[in-house]
Amino acid sequence: MNNRKETLKVLLAVKEELPAARFVCVAADYAVDDDKITWAVCHRFTEMIADRLQGEYTVDSWLRKYHGIDTVNYTPDVKLDYRQRWVDAMIKEFSS
């Protein structure tokens, strides 16, 4: 992302969209559809998320590979809760 302010704006939009989207990058797409962010900003954001996932496609595979946490038996709500806490942590990171 280009700057902290832009990243924070995206994260706040993602937080609003996440319950319906269920995935962080899908929530960013929803934010584009709702005219909260542009496609260019969405693309930069999803690249940042991809960097944080260290080559893994989903947070589930990242948790499994880097932390030994198998989420296969987690309910969708438990997975969503984790993603919401991750977004909250990034909002805190980019707010400081």
Does a structural domain hold residue 81?
A: yes
**Residue 48 included in any domain:** yes
Residue 96 falls inside a structural domain: no
- pLDDT band of residue 37 (cuts 50, 70, 90) is very high
Residue 34 forms part of a structural domain: yes
Query: What are the structure tokens assigned to 52, written together?
Result: 């944080």
Residue 52 lies in a domain: yes
48/33 Cα distance (integer angstroms): 20
If one counts the domains in the chain, the total is 1
What does the block give as tokens for 88?
Answer: 């909250």
pTM of the model: 0.91
Residues 30, 21 contacting (CB under 8 angstroms): yes
Instruction: List, in order, residues 6 or more apart from 46 with CB less than 8 Å away.
Output: 25, 28
Provide the domain limits for residue 51.
4-91
Percent of the chain with pLDDT over 70: 98
